[in-house]
Amino acid sequence: MIVDLPSCNTRDISKQLLRLRSQVGAVTLGRVMTLIVVTDEAHADAAIDAAAEASREHPSRILALVRGHRRAASRLDAQVRVGGEAGVSELVVMRMHGELARHGGSIVTPLLLPDSAVVAWWPGAGETDLAGSSVGSLAGRRITDVSLDKNPRRALARRAENYTPGDTDMAWSRTTRWRALLATALDHPPFESVDSVTVTGASDSASADLLGAWLAVRLRCPVRRVSAAAGRGLVSVRMERESGPIVLERASDDQATLTQPGHQPRPFPLPRPTTAQALSEELRHLDKDEVYRLALQNIGLMRTTPAAKQTSSSKST
C-alpha cells in the first residue's frame, strides 16, 4: 500500500504509518533496525529499490531522504509504503526542498525505531565527515560506496582521513568472497609463508585497492597493485610461495579459477554483487569493522603499477 503526503511534517508521517500498519497487518514485527538512505533525485529510485530488496533479509524501517532543490521554498513531501511495495519493511520516502534539505537528521529523528540499531547509507562517497553530519551522528553504522565517485581512489583517501569507528564502504563488502577463497587456499598444505602478492584490478577499482591493502596487513609481505583498464573491477590475485604461486583469477563475469601447486585448477562461482547484495552484506555487521579500518588506512603499503593498455566495456568494482 502506498500513500502520498504532500507538504507534510513528521507527525503526519507517524500517524500515517500507524494507520497503514493497522490496515495491512503486523508485517513489520521483525524489524531489526532503522535504515536511513541519503541520496539525491537522480539516484533515488535505484537506491530505494536496493534498500527494499536488502530488507527482505534485514527487515527494517527504511527512511529515504531525497535532497531536492535548495533554492526552492522549504517543503517536505513524503510517500509511505508498507506491505509488498516496501519489501518486508516500512518505507518512507521524504523529499526535502529548500533549506530543509540541510536538516535531514532533524527530520528522521522522530521516525527512528526505539531500542534498535540505526544504519545510514549514502549511495556514493558520502559527506566528508560522515559521523559529524546530521544523519551520520544518529547512526552506529555508516555505509558509503566510493566506487560511484568520479575518482574512487581519491574518495577512499578521504574516507581514510576522516574515518570514525562504524564507518564502512560497499567496495569492501564486494571483496568478501575473494577474501574467503584466498584464506581457504592458504589453509591447505604446504603451510608456507607468502613472499609477495600481486593484485590486479581496474584503475578505478576501490575493491582492488582495499583487497591489496588487506593482504599487505595480513600477510606482512610486499604487495604490488597492478592497474588494468578502467571498468574491469577485480581481475586476479597472485600469491608467491616457495612451492609455487596461488592464483585466483576471474575467468568471466560470474566465475573465477583458483590455481595452486599440486592441484588441478578449480572453478568457483564469483559473481559481481549487485548493489542490494553488497548492502545486505554490510547490514549483517552492525558493530565497528576493525579489519576494514586496517585495510583502509594501509592502502599506502602497496606499490602501484600504472594502468595497462586494455579495453573493456564492463563496469564493476
**Nearest to 106, CA basis, from 10, 223, 40:** 10
- The pLDDT score that the predictor gives to residue 313 is 36
Give the whole-angstrom CA distance, residue 34 versus residue 251.
Answer: 39
Per-domain boundaries in the chain: 2-121, 176-305
- The pLDDT score that the predictor gives to residue 83 is 72
The residue behind cell 507517524 is 14
Give the whole-angstrom CA distance, residue 86 versus residue 61.
Answer: 9
Q: Cell numbers of 108, please?
A: 528522521
**Nearest to 202, CA basis, from 250, 268, 135:** 250
In terms of pTM, does the model score above 0.85? yes
Using DSSP's 3-state secondary structure scheme, residue 50 falls into: helix
Give the whole-angstrom CA distance, residue 78 versus residue 95.
Answer: 6
* E-only strand ranges, the chain: 2-5, 33-40, 60-67, 75-81, 90-97, 117-121, 141-144, 167-169, 196-202, 223-228, 234-240, 246-252, 255-259, 266-269, 303-305
Burial 96-134 (b: 16+ CB within 10 A, else e): bbeebbeebbebbeebbbeeebbbbbbbbbbbeebbebb
- The pLDDT score that the predictor gives to residue 171 is 97
- The pLDDT score that the predictor gives to residue 71 is 79
Mean pLDDT by 10 residues, the chain (317 residues): 94 92 62 92 94 91 91 92 71 94 94 94 94 96 95 94 97 96 93 96 96 97 94 95 97 93 94 95 93 96 70 40
Using DSSP's 3-state secondary structure scheme, residue 287 falls into: coil
